[in-house]
Amino acid sequence: MNITFCCAETKSEPWLVGLRAALPAAQVDLWQPGAPPADHAVVWAPPQQFFDEQPQLKGVFNIGAGVDALLKLRLPPQAVVVRLDDAGMSVQMAEYVCHAVIRHFREFDAYEAAMRAGQWSYRKPRRRADFAVGVMGLGVLGERVARALQMFEFPVNGWSRSAKSIDGVRSFCGAEQFNDFLAATQVLVNLLPLTPETRDIMNRETLSQLQPGGYVINVARGAHLVDEDLIALIDSGHLSGATLDVFRTEPLPSDHPFWQHPQITLTPHTSARTLREESIAQIAGKILALEQGYCVAGIVDPVRGY
């Protein structure tokens, strides 16, 4: 069995060493143009040339949860695309979102600014019941985030394409319940996959339906959000701010207005990083399962886009 590794912006040697250790019977090599054919590929942001030269691939394993960029390429028709289910990312995502929600709810940004200005002052505590958090996307990461938020006793809403049932989460599904979900939400957390249907889903019309003083946390993809609409709604006072970890162009251009906006908190796409050891173990297990004819979790439906 031959496995090829093609991951842009990733140090290849630790992955190659790990994959070889996890799959000692396999030949694992770094892809170069003109490389011999492989059975499976481990990839992140590969070029089209890679797939043009590897039309025989049976499995394509993406070292991340998002596959939107991969699905834009022409892939071998018989190859199954497999994404990571978790591999340590869900707990990181839960940490990030809970931190962002709590920082906003407790107004720690205002306290920090006051202390830096030499001001010792208190703010009136907010009612937790008034801060319903709405999680868009209830996959592996979204469900973990929703459950983590419950531990802090926030009311939690969830919206997904199809019906989901999570204890303690008020669930909404489908286009017919989307507006009701938004109207019931004070803090909106986006964990949707990026598809043609979800692109620009956070725009002036949808974000205007959040409760007054609403807050936006985007940890999915930058193309979910219409940047200028978010800024306009914050400046108008309808939204109180946002925490953004993903952007339409990354790194974020130096002249983008997000950098200087006082009510927008930025992080450099770091909410949930791929953990190498956990990812290698999961990928190796799935490769062996596919080779033995078993079904595996995380197979992407190219029609749905996730």
**Known catalytic membership, residue 269:** yes
Q: Which pLDDT band holds residue 10 (cuts at 50, 70, 90)?
A: confident
The distance between the two most distant Cα atoms of the chain, rounded to a whole number of Å, is: 67
**Average pLDDT for residues 293-298, to the nearest whole number?**
94
Report pLDDT for 64: 83
Rounded CA separation 272/243 (Å): 14
Q: Which pLDDT band holds residue 158 (cuts at 50, 70, 90)?
A: very high
Q: Which pLDDT band holds residue 9 (cuts at 50, 70, 90)?
A: confident
Report pLDDT for 254: 97
**Average pLDDT for residues 188-216, to the nearest whole number?**
97
Q: Which CATH architecture has domain 89-266?
A: 3-Layer(aba) Sandwich (3.40)
Look-up: residue for tokens 């339409």? Answer: 248
Alpha helix (H) residue ranges in the chain: 12-22, 48-53, 89-105, 108-116, 140-150, 178-183, 204-207, 227-236, 276-291
303 pLDDT above the threshold of 90: no
Q: Which CATH architecture has domain 2-87+274-291?
A: 3-Layer(aba) Sandwich (3.40)
Q: Is the peptide bond before 55 cis (omega within 30 degrees of 0)?
A: no
**Known catalytic membership, residue 221:** yes
Say which residues have a Cβ less than 8 Å from residue 172's Cβ, sequence separation at least 6.
Answer: 157, 158, 159, 160, 178, 180, 181, 184
Task: Convert the pLDDT of each residue in 241-254 to its tens digit.
Answer: 999 999 999 999 99
Rounded CA separation 40/79 (Å): 9
Task: Convert the pLDDT of each residue in 76-108 to its tens digit.
Answer: 999 999 999 888 899 999 999 999 999 999 999
Give me the catalytic one of 104, 144, 161, 221: 221
Average pLDDT, the chain: 96
- Please state, for a pLDDT cut of 70, what percent of the chain lies above it: 100
Closest Cα to residue 34, out of 52, 17, 16, 46?
A: 52
**Average pLDDT for residues 215-244, to the nearest whole number?**
98
Long-range CB pairs of 109-118, under 8 A, 24+ apart, other chains included? 109/265
**Average pLDDT for residues 191-205, to the nearest whole number?**
97
CA within 13 Å, CB half, 118:
0
Report pLDDT for 109: 96
Report pLDDT for 210: 98
pTM: 0.92
Give the residue extent of every domain in the chain: 2-87+274-291, 89-266
Q: Is 169 exposed, middle or buried (0-12, 13-18, 19+ CB in 10 A)?
A: buried
Give me the catalytic one of 20, 99, 170, 269: 269
Tokens of 159: 């919206």
Report pLDDT for 256: 98
Secondary structure in 3-state letters for 13-57: HHHHHHHHHHCCCCEEEECCCCCCCCCEEEEECCCHHHHHHCCCC
Report pLDDT for 223: 98
Report pLDDT for 253: 98
